[in-house]
Structure 1
Amino acid sequence: MTVNDDAFTNWKTREEIAESMIPIIGRLHREQDVTVLLHSRSLVNKSVVSILKTHRFARQIAGEELSVTDTLPFLQTLTTLDLGPSQIDIGMLAATYRADDRGLSVEEFTAEAVAGATGENKIELREGRDVVLYGFGRIGRLLARLLIEKTGSGNGLRLRAIVVRQGGDQDIVKRASLLRRDSIHGQFQGTITVDEASSTIIANGNEIKVIYAGDPSEIDYTAYGIKDAILVDNTGKWRDREGLSKHLRPGIDKVVLTAPGKGDVPNIVHGVNHDTIKPDEQILSCASCTTNAIVPPLKAMAEEYGVLRGHVETVHSFTNDQNLLDNYHSSDRRGRSAPLNMVITETGAASAVAKALPDLKAPITGSSIRVPVPDVSIAILSLRLGRATTREEVLDYLRNVSLTSPLKRQIDFISAPDAVSSDFIGSRHASIVDAGATKVEDDNAILYLWYDNEFGYSCQVIRVVQHVSGVEYPTFPAPAV
């Protein structure tokens, strides 16, 4: 047998193991609301090849490839436990087990590591929480995809309705088509049908009512069987408490804005300050995509090195508020053709840092350039640190943050030398540290942070919605603090 034959046989073996993992992962998710992760990446509804690629990706983070032969025993053990709703990272289980020197079996170690999700400690399945999307644009449709994907047992978040203005003949058919196919993010994973008579989109069994309204004051959501819902305003039309309060109609309990809030509206970056949300707070903002990209790594660097001052330069993909061709626009430069020009503009992300990190006293400035790509941006974060360090130390630190810290769902890490923007379409992290581009000299550090300003941001919004709804389930093994 040749070396090539050995490699092919090994691949086929790993394919077979990955195939055996799929029904286990699906059953845990469907029946017990358990989401199986691998280094913070969900394995739910993933193909055989996707599962194998996710295992291989661990090589770029941890320095060595993780094999399905390593993780399968932990996954099999989970099926023997009385698990409640939770997120369980089998990559972390395998890594921490390897480092454990107590001589425990896989079964003993796993039972101990996930004890917080079993027996008397487990969260009982509860009634699902209704969600309404006000607006159905770029972010709204991605939020819909995520909510449908995360339906699980039906006891978590349930997308019940979207609210839009009437757009003419076959409006609902056209909106369903935009949900079904996306030029950037690809095909919807599942089936979508439309019932025009009842104004309903049915996506993977989820019945989503399409409500036509020109203003929030026109709607009584209880008339559609919706109660205690979380409404996500992704129009950006209202940004302050007075405007957003219009959404607090019968059937709506809380309002979440997908844009920076103004005035006293809390700006929340999940992973950084979501634990400051007061239980009785009815209106909050998820800040901007760029704020979500820079605040988690800024927090991580401040905790380890101290930050005396900083500047963020955002190279941002063009957005809907720019013109395809030169035309009138309320903002001078944004009126110029987005696909043909680099456009200097402003960003409020730097000033938003103070709201998300009030203890950080360092001045942070910012500016932005829009560039001719439709998605994925990069934030160049230049920092003056509180102490001198080295490039190797900073990279080791950020790699560990992405693997084991409470920020591991926000911060990703890549060391691929040929990475470019399109590689990060579909990333579920708030930002990805590009190791190859990182520069450090004495007390100066420059971090290059990629982020999918559409999908990664939408994932952060969903995490906030899960948190305020009470269905943000704990992750095991618990991340290091």
Structure 2
Amino acid sequence: MRVFINGFGRIGRSVLRAWAEDRRRGGRLWPQIEIVGINDIAAPEMCAYLFEYDSVFGPWKGAVALEAGVLVIDGHRLRLSREPDLAALDLSDTDLVMECTGRAGGRDLAEAGLRAGARRVLISGPSEAADYTVVLGANEAGLSDQAVVSNASCTTNALAPLMRFVNDRWGLRGGTMTTIHCYTGSQPTVDAPAADFARSRAAALSMVPTTTSAGKLLDQVLPELAGRIIAQAVRVPTASVSAVDLALLLDRPASEGEINDALRGAGGVIGVTDQPLVSADLRARPESVIMALPETRVAAAGLVRIFGWYDNEWGFSNRMLDVAALMR
């Protein structure tokens, strides 16, 4: 399966790193995927530099070289292009475009890879233009031959499999979710005007209450739970790893021990830890969500509190590759 990355930002580079790291270990996770090229408006020298030296994940441990418009990672050659309009490229030899620019909200940009000749497109974020929004562990059974697919958001990837798991076992009457989310490139480094007054403030200096698309996307991904979860966010001054903090009302009562035992056996994209970890400890974990079992609480009235970590870049990029493998 030949995959082309459009947009070499945080997710595009993380996808390539995850895939290339797996190749270094023998290619066990995604043996059917071959990443063949990258399109980004940045200079090739900048693309190579930002791949090799990453402030969050550290320097690349292998070899990185640039040869006449080709990025060479540990001997694997990827063609580089700088085309602002992806549709102008010839991608007729490409099975899937990973649309990682963050700009494919409308159908015109979402379909650019198809107009370039690729067979299908996978968008690294929410998009109303997508034919289907998929979250692994929640609704991948509905994935078939849709041409344009959205991989939802990092928070939705953490939330939706967990809510499906909870609802399948105990029933879910309702609840509230707060994502404690690291700052992202959408926030300013110094105070600057923005549509959202709180989001206009310097990202690394304050905790910033804001909105999240995860609630709306959860309703879309798991329509049987529509309207049952209120979702909000607080952006915090850390560079990576986020969390979901949930207060839930279940149909059937459950003890802390019962809940934790069930989570230990969840498997798949839901991981667990029994350790008193902090966010830095979860960096580069590949699961969609890692449940912090010491944080589980059940109040006398039956209100359940559960808490999970997620690396919003690395975990999500692993899911991009997992979903791409399903789209072959």
The TM-score, its normalising length taken from structure 2, stands at 0.94
Q: 2:148 maps to which residue?
A: 283
Q: State whether structure 2 residue 207 is matched by structure 1 residue 349.
A: no
Q: State whether structure 2 residue 312 is matched by structure 1 residue 446.
A: no
Given candidates 334, 349, 358, the residue that maps to 2:199 is 334
Secondary structure of residue in 1 paired with 2:204: coil
Given candidates 410, 418, 427, the residue that maps to 2:285 is 427
Alpha-carbon distance in structure 2 between the residues aligned to 1:359 and 1:342? 33
1:192, distance to aligned residue in structure 2 (A): 1.0
Whether the 8 Å CA contact 1:150–1:157 is kept in 2: the answer is: no
Whether the 8 Å CA contact 1:231–1:252 is kept in 2: the answer is: yes
Alpha-carbon distance in structure 2 between the residues aligned to 1:155 and 1:382? 39
1:348, distance to aligned residue in structure 2 (A): 1.1
Whether the 8 Å CA contact 2:95–2:119 is kept in 1: the answer is: yes
Q: Which runs of 5+ in 2 are unaligned?
A: none
CA deviation vs aligned residue, 1:105-156 (integer Å, no higher than 9, x gap) = xxxxxxxxxxxxxxxxxxxxxxxx1111100001110001122234457962
Q: 2:181 maps to which residue?
A: 316
Q: 1:182 maps to which residue?
A: 54
Q: 2:32 maps to which residue?
A: 156
Q: 1:359 maps to which residue?
A: 224
Q: State whether structure 2 residue 113 is matched by structure 1 residue 243.
A: no
Secondary structure of residue in 2 paired with 1:412: strand
Secondary structure of residue in 2 paired with 1:387: coil
Q: 2:235 maps to which residue?
A: 370
1:242, distance to aligned residue in structure 2 (A): 4.0
Deviates more, 1:328-337 or 1:380-389: 328-337
RMSD over aligned Cα atoms: 1.7
Whether the 8 Å CA contact 1:241–1:265 is kept in 2: the answer is: no
1:264, distance to aligned residue in structure 2 (A): 5.5
1:270, distance to aligned residue in structure 2 (A): 1.0
Whether the 8 Å CA contact 1:342–1:369 is kept in 2: the answer is: yes
Q: State whether structure 2 residue 68 is matched by structure 1 residue 229.
A: no
Query: Which letter does structure 2 place at the counterpart of 1:269?
Result: V
Q: State whether structure 2 residue 275 is matched by structure 1 residue 416.
A: yes
Query: Which letter does structure 1 place at the counterpart of 2:173?
Result: L
Whether the 8 Å CA contact 2:219–2:227 is kept in 1: the answer is: no
Whether the 8 Å CA contact 1:308–1:362 is kept in 2: the answer is: no
Matches within 5 A, 1:166-181: 167=42, 171-181=43-53
Q: 1:457 maps to which residue?
A: 316
Distance 1:251 1:205, change over 3 A: farther
Whether the 8 Å CA contact 1:240–1:265 is kept in 2: the answer is: no
Q: How many residues align?
A: 323
Query: Which letter does structure 2 place at the counterpart of 1:448?
Result: F
Secondary structure of residue in 2 paired with 1:353: helix
Secondary structure of residue in 2 paired with 1:456: helix
Distance 1:207 1:240, change over 3 A: same
The TM-score, its normalising length taken from structure 1, stands at 0.65
Q: State whether structure 2 residue 133 is matched by structure 1 residue 267.
A: yes
Whether the 8 Å CA contact 2:178–2:233 is kept in 1: the answer is: yes
Alpha-carbon distance in structure 2 between the residues aligned to 1:330 and 1:134? 27
1:278, distance to aligned residue in structure 2 (A): 1.6
Distance 1:180 1:399, change over 3 A: same
CA deviation vs aligned residue, 1:144-196 (integer Å, no higher than 9, x gap) = 1122234457962111111111x4xxx2122111111211111223211111x
Higher helix share: 1
Distance 1:460 1:264, change over 3 A: closer
Alpha-carbon distance in structure 2 between the residues aligned to 1:240 and 1:300? 32
Secondary structure of residue in 1 paired with 2:252: strand
Given candidates 119, 131, 137, the residue that maps to 2:9 is 137
1:343, distance to aligned residue in structure 2 (A): 0.8
Alpha-carbon distance in structure 1 between the residues aligned to 2:83 and 2:94? 20
Secondary structure of residue in 1 paired with 2:19: helix
Query: Which letter does structure 1 place at the counterpart of 2:79?
Result: K
CA deviation vs aligned residue, 1:12-58 (integer Å, no higher than 9, x gap) = xxxxxxxxxxxxxxxxxxxxxxxxxxxxxxxxxxxxxxxxxxxxxxx
Alpha-carbon distance in structure 1 between the residues aligned to 2:107 and 2:303? 39
Q: Which runs of 5+ in 1 are unaligned?
A: 1-128, 402-407, 470-481
Deviates more, 1:303-312 or 1:265-274: 265-274
Query: Which letter does structure 1 place at the counterpart of 2:232?
Result: S
Q: State whether structure 2 residue 247 is matched by structure 1 residue 382.
A: yes
Deviates more, 1:144-153 or 1:176-185: 144-153
1:371, distance to aligned residue in structure 2 (A): 0.5
Matches within 5 A, 1:47-66: none
Alpha-carbon distance in structure 2 between the residues aligned to 1:362 and 1:308? 10
Over alpha carbons, which structure has the higher Rg? 1
Secondary structure of residue in 2 paired with 1:182: coil
Query: Which letter does structure 1 place at the counterpart of 2:101?
Result: T
